[in-house]
Structure 1
Amino acid sequence: MLFRLILLLLLSDIIASRSIVKTLPGYPSDLPFELETGYVGVGEKNDVQLFYYFVESEGSPKDDPLILWLAGGPGCSALRAFFYEIGPFTFNYEESIGKTPTLELNPYSWTKVASIIYIDQPVGTGFSYANTSESYISSDTISATQTYEFLRKWLVDHPEYLNNPLYICGVSYIGMVIPIIVQEIYNGNEAGNEPQMNIKGYMLGNPLTDKNRDINSRIKYAHRVALLSDNLYKSTKANCKGEYIDVDPSNGLCSSNLQLVDKCLDKINLPQILEPLCSTMNVKSNLLRWDRNSAEENSMDLLGPLQQVPGPWCRGYNYIFATKWANDRDVQKALNIREGIKTEWLQCNTSIEYSFGVSATVAYTFNVPSTVGYHRNLTHKNCRALIFSGDLDMRVPHLSTEKWIDSLNLNIESGWEPWFVDGQIAGYTIAYARNDYSLTYATMKGAGHTVPEYKPRESLAMVDRWFAYYPL
């Protein structure tokens, strides 16, 4: 007992700061929910300071699940999810032109059914920072280890949440990191690490899982949705032998086919194939590489006084408002951001950029090519998984997600069938199981890459049912 107490004291000693935020610029009154922000020191000598936002459940905080939400990118801030995906606020875009962006409540916030920790990770993301240049060096596995350390320390400092069901969740590139974190939690519990976490499972949306297969599947998906002709698809598949990334430069037929494919798909918006690209943001689809939506990265170029938003509409223009809001000094003061540490907040840290095996900087190493093995390991745990895919996403097509799920060789508990919200088909689902492990897979009809952003009402219904152990 004394040893456990010493361990907990050592962990809690590293909690750097936390504060309750009562008001925020852009919202006219006191916040109608509890918002806490703070830093937690991790890594060697705690030189890495990870910033977080914590919103207590608006339902039953003592009983509702606790979610650790990680944004994708890598290097995209947690505010991305806070404002555009699952958080309690969004922007009133019409009222925000020409002044401080105006906040309004999100009726489909996941905080209706869960308490959520939104964390800026890896180091260098959002308001997270390091005290030394060496501590900015990270990787897929280092990010996972530091996030696990963050969670241990956060729970020591918030023991009232130790008994809540814990889920690790996120979308997009974070599919390369979350399965590692979840495995570390289970392994840590089995090894007797303190605090013991009440881990129940994980949730992933359109997750990058196997870098080669996920990117390769884009061409098959493009053919499936009639963006490529039968003849071009069959010729490209035959000449390239199904490999479209690591192409033999002497294979002229394959190269010629891929040039035609690129011509057909150059102006397609990968995150949501039916929506327009932002014409003024110099956005170009990068079919055969991992590429964040450039509209998310380049919104600073359009800030100015925000007297008007360029037309016609594209989703990327929505992100301008978060950039404007988060770089306001009054906002940073309200969030209790440490002064003088970071001078500019970015939606996504462009120095952490993955270009299929090539890093734009030595600061981040993309050292995990596939997490399918981690998913397979978790099938031997008492664990739940919810994997969901927007069916209009070509960045991580549902086809490749379904393929790696099939490779787990789980038992099918209920076959492919529609699921409904308000009497309308929201998507399709299939449920798997093996001993104490269960996996629910769901598509979201009409959704893009970050599913809750496109289908907020249906997404809230999905997680509410899943948390309650109901069929979708």
Structure 2
Amino acid sequence: MAMLSSHDHGTTRCFLIWSMLLSLVLHISSQLAKSHSTVQFLPGFNGPLPFLLETGYVEVGETETELHGELFYYFIESESNPQEDPLLLWLTGGPGCSALSGLVFEIGPLTFKKEEYNGSLPNLALNPHSWTKVSSIIFLDSPLGTGFSYPKTELAAQQSTSKLVQNAHQFLRKWLVDHPKFLPNEVYIAGDSYSGIPLPVIVQEISDGNDGGVQPWINLQGYLLGNPLTARTEDNYQIPFSHGMGLISDELYESLQKNCRGEYRNIDPGNVLCLRDKEYYEETISGIDTNHILEPKCEFGLRNPIENPWKATTIFSSGLALPPLNCRSHAYFLCAYWANNDNVRQALHIRKGSKGEWKRCDFYIPFKFDIHESLPYHVNLSRKGYRSLIYSGDHDMRVPFLDTQAWIRSLNYSIVDDWRQWYSNGQVAGYTRTYSNRMTFATVKGGGHTAPEYRPEECLAMFSRWISNRPL
């Protein structure tokens, strides 16, 4: 048997190393390929989807011991010019509310048909006012445990605001590595409600990463926030809002002002007069839907109709009932029935065994609120020159526009375009003001919490103008 020379040994070693590297590359490539899939048909929608929908997972975590969580996303390519149109990363609030809620109830191209639930799979329809008309959007189930996202370890299951921030930042860079054709596109981070706390922090993390040379570089241009929590002062503005909207009497409002001195959130237990007024206030507004004061107040969850006076439209053998069709929450249940259907999960390429019951909003995720306000981050981002659009539905009592106006005013930036009307379809759609820090504030007339769900046509007009650098 012939002996191999040292040169032959070296050649063999190189070949083996090369083979191993090739196998590793092929393995990584196959894993990437398996991490996302194009969806052409969805159960409940008639025919092929008239837009590009991709679903997938991105693994995230801080350290190797914690790198065991999968963030699920829905990506919809712009229906106009995906090569040049901006890319949005969308975060729904909660924390714990699925991005599917933002997709089908707010700014995405699909919605549920408004029809009585008969036990079959709910039907989908097109939303003509989708923001994907002018942008590509990644709808992200975040934090881990939300929607179809899932943790792989007990440690990863323990979520917090700061972890949400780190994971969203990591997600976006990994997603762009896997979708390099979108690297040149302008990027905006967008969201609503509770996202008002983590979202500006995410924007700063991305910006700091860019400054520090973290790759890939992200073409970050700014951010959008709807009806956002910011400094956790919203409770102090609900009472002035209620008074201004004619929900409480002048006498009660004056008594609240006198006895509580403007602090309605953290009331001194010894302030008996304030506590008495606050209790009377809660009783006075108890029949009002805080998400939109003009909407009927409906059940948010399934309840037994025998125990409740409100009329249910559909009663099941289990004794559970759906809210009436005129309740907005009726569609929330259609969404849950749809997302928990096995055929739907298969179409969305949900990993088997990764998720039990899908919930539109899961408020029982282990979550630590370790970032309490985002105001300082708005200041930092303004100094860096990022654009921002802050909008509020003017009938939202949960996070009243008065609260949003107050924290924006506290930034003390000069006004470059003062308070004025903005229009949609020839009608006043709200009011707007622009500041020298490149921040635009807008109210959406008739909008609730959150605005696009109630005023989709107007919100698309607002977004389309702002994203293309036109005045509202």
TM-score > 0.5, shorter chain as reference: yes
Are residues 1:337 and 2:350 paired?
A: yes
3-state DSSP of counterpart to 1:341? coil
| Alpha-carbon distance, 1:350 to partner | 2.4
| Alpha-carbon distance, 1:235 to partner | 1.0
3-state DSSP of counterpart to 1:37? strand
| Alpha-carbon distance, 1:98 to partner | 3.4
> What is residue 467 of structure 1 aligned with on the other side?
467
Mapped to 1, the partners of 2:116 and 2:48 lie a distance apart of 19
> What is residue 444 of structure 2 aligned with on the other side?
444
3-state DSSP of counterpart to 2:397? coil
Specify which of 16, 34, 48 is matched with residue 30 of structure 1.
48
Are residues 1:153 and 2:174 paired?
A: yes
Are residues 1:457 and 2:470 paired?
A: no
For 2:147, the aligned partner's letter is G
> What is residue 373 of structure 1 aligned with on the other side?
376
Mapped to 2, the partners of 1:92 and 1:307 lie a distance apart of 22
| Alpha-carbon distance, 1:382 to partner | 2.5
Q: In structure 2, do the counterparts of structure 1 residues 95 and 238 end up closer, same or farther at CA, with 3 Å as the change threshold? A: closer
| Alpha-carbon distance, 1:312 to partner | 6.4
Q: How many residue pairs end up in the alignment?
A: 432
Are residues 1:171 and 2:206 paired?
A: no
Specify which of 202, 214, 219 is matched with residue 239 of structure 2.
219
| Contact persistence 1:388–1:444 (CA under 8 A) | yes
| Contact persistence 1:303–1:320 (CA under 8 A) | no
> What is residue 319 of structure 1 aligned with on the other side?
332
Q: In structure 2, do the counterparts of structure 1 residues 84 and 280 end up closer, same or farther at CA, with 3 Å as the change threshold? A: closer
| Alpha-carbon distance, 1:190 to partner | 0.8
For 1:61, the aligned partner's letter is P
Are residues 1:200 and 2:218 paired?
A: no
Cα-to-partner distance string for 1:371-399 (whole Å, 9 max, x where unaligned): 11110111111210000000000000000
Unpaired runs of 5+ residues, structure 2, are 1-24, 304-311
3-state DSSP of counterpart to 1:379? helix
Q: In structure 2, do the counterparts of structure 1 residues 135 and 464 end up closer, same or farther at CA, with 3 Å as the change threshold? A: same
Are residues 1:246 and 2:266 paired?
A: yes
Q: In structure 2, do the counterparts of structure 1 residues 169 and 458 end up closer, same or farther at CA, with 3 Å as the change threshold? A: same
3-state DSSP of counterpart to 1:93? coil
| Alpha-carbon distance, 1:306 to partner | 12
Are residues 1:234 and 2:254 paired?
A: yes
Specify which of 406, 411, 415 is matched with residue 409 of structure 2.
406
Mapped to 2, the partners of 1:264 and 1:111 lie a distance apart of 41
Mapped to 1, the partners of 2:121 and 2:302 lie a distance apart of 26
Mapped to 1, the partners of 2:322 and 2:106 lie a distance apart of 21
Mapped to 2, the partners of 1:229 and 1:53 lie a distance apart of 46
3-state DSSP of counterpart to 1:94? coil
For 1:228, the aligned partner's letter is I
| Contact persistence 2:433–2:441 (CA under 8 A) | yes
Mapped to 2, the partners of 1:266 and 1:135 lie a distance apart of 38
Mapped to 2, the partners of 1:306 and 1:97 lie a distance apart of 15
| Contact persistence 1:97–1:307 (CA under 8 A) | no
Specify which of 87, 97, 102 is matched with residue 81 of structure 1.
102
| Contact persistence 1:52–1:118 (CA under 8 A) | yes
> What is residue 21 of structure 2 aligned with on the other side?
none
| Alpha-carbon distance, 1:209 to partner | 0.4
For 1:187, the aligned partner's letter is D
| Alpha-carbon distance, 1:233 to partner | 1.1
Matches within 5 A, 1:217-296: 217-278=237-298, 281=301
Cα-to-partner distance string for 1:183-210 (whole Å, 9 max, x where unaligned): 0111111111111110000000000001
Cα-to-partner distance string for 1:47-69 (whole Å, 9 max, x where unaligned): 01000000000000000010000
Q: In structure 2, do the counterparts of structure 1 residues 96 and 55 end up closer, same or farther at CA, with 3 Å as the change threshold? A: farther
| Contact persistence 1:98–1:307 (CA under 8 A) | no
| Alpha-carbon distance, 1:309 to partner | 5.1
| Alpha-carbon distance, 1:243 to partner | 1.2
> What is residue 387 of structure 1 aligned with on the other side?
390
Q: In structure 2, do the counterparts of structure 1 residues 280 and 87 end up closer, same or farther at CA, with 3 Å as the change threshold? A: closer
> What is residue 122 of structure 1 aligned with on the other side?
143
For 1:273, the aligned partner's letter is I
| Alpha-carbon distance, 1:308 to partner | 8.8
Matches within 5 A, 1:49-88: 49-88=70-109
Cα-to-partner distance string for 1:7-53 (whole Å, 9 max, x where unaligned): xx9xx888570111111101121111111110000003320100000
Cα-to-partner distance string for 1:420-472 (whole Å, 9 max, x where unaligned): 011100000001113xxx01110000110111110011011111101111110
Q: In structure 2, do the counterparts of structure 1 residues 364 and 456 end up closer, same or farther at CA, with 3 Å as the change threshold? A: same
Cα-to-partner distance string for 1:80-105 (whole Å, 9 max, x where unaligned): 01110011111112275332111111
Q: In structure 2, do the counterparts of structure 1 residues 206 and 280 end up closer, same or farther at CA, with 3 Å as the change threshold? A: closer
Q: In structure 2, do the counterparts of structure 1 residues 303 and 201 end up closer, same or farther at CA, with 3 Å as the change threshold? A: farther
Unpaired runs of 5+ residues, structure 1, are 1-8, 284-298, 353-362
For 2:416, the aligned partner's letter is E
Q: What is the TM-score of this pair, normalised by structure 2? A: 0.88
Are residues 1:328 and 2:349 paired?
A: no
Mapped to 2, the partners of 1:452 and 1:343 lie a distance apart of 29
For 2:358, the aligned partner's letter is W
For 1:450, the aligned partner's letter is T
Q: In structure 2, do the counterparts of structure 1 residues 40 and 308 end up closer, same or farther at CA, with 3 Å as the change threshold? A: same
CA RMSD of aligned residues (A): 2.2
The structure with more radius of gyration: 2
